[in-house]
Amino acid sequence: MKFLLSTHMDPAAWEALPEAERAAMREDKGEFADEVAESGEMILAHELADPSRSAVVRVRDGLAVVADGPYRPAAEFLSGYYLVDCDDRDRAIELAARIPEARVAGVEVRPVMHAAGQDL
C-alpha cells in the first residue's frame, strides 16, 4: 500500500530548539531516509521551499489570478513529503513516528488512491 507521509513544520518552534537538538534531528532525518530506501519502501521524497516562495493560482470566469504566498497561511505548514510503499497503515504510522518533524509539528499519514478494484 502506498502512503504519503507529509511533514509539517513550525519555524518558530524549530528556531526555539537548542542547536544541538536541531543538529541531531537533521542527522536523524538523513538516517531515516537511508533506512527506508534500504528496506525497499521508499518511492520518492522531497523537501519543499518556504511557503513565502509559493504562489496560489485561482481560475475564476476563465481568468487566472495569481497570489503570492501559501494556499492557507498558518504558523504550521507543509514542509516536505515521503511517498512510501509499505505493508499496511500500522507500518506507515511506525515510519511517520521516526520522522523528526513529528517531534516539532506533525506528520500526516494518508493512503494514496490505487486503481485496482475488488470484485463486487
Summarize as ranges the residues that interact with other proteins (CB under 8 A): 1, 37-43, 85-87, 91, 111-120
Nearer to other proteins, 25 or 43 (CB): 43
Q: In Å, how far are 24, 51, 70, 96 from 73, measured between CA atoms?
A: 29, 8, 6, 24
Task: Write down the H helix ranges in 39-100.
Answer: 89-97
Nearer to other proteins, 60 or 118 (CB): 118
Closest separation between CB of residue 109 and other proteins, Å? 13
Closest separation between CB of residue 90 and other proteins, Å? 11
Q: Taking the alpha carbons of 62, 68, 74, 80 in that order, is the dihedral positive or negative?
A: positive
Beta strands in 10-87 (DSSP E): 42-47, 55-60, 63-68, 77-85
Nearer to other proteins, 15 or 87 (CB): 87
Closest separation between CB of residue 80 and other proteins, Å? 19
Task: Tell me if residue 83 falls in helix, strand or coil.
Answer: strand
Closest separation between CB of residue 29 and other proteins, Å? 19
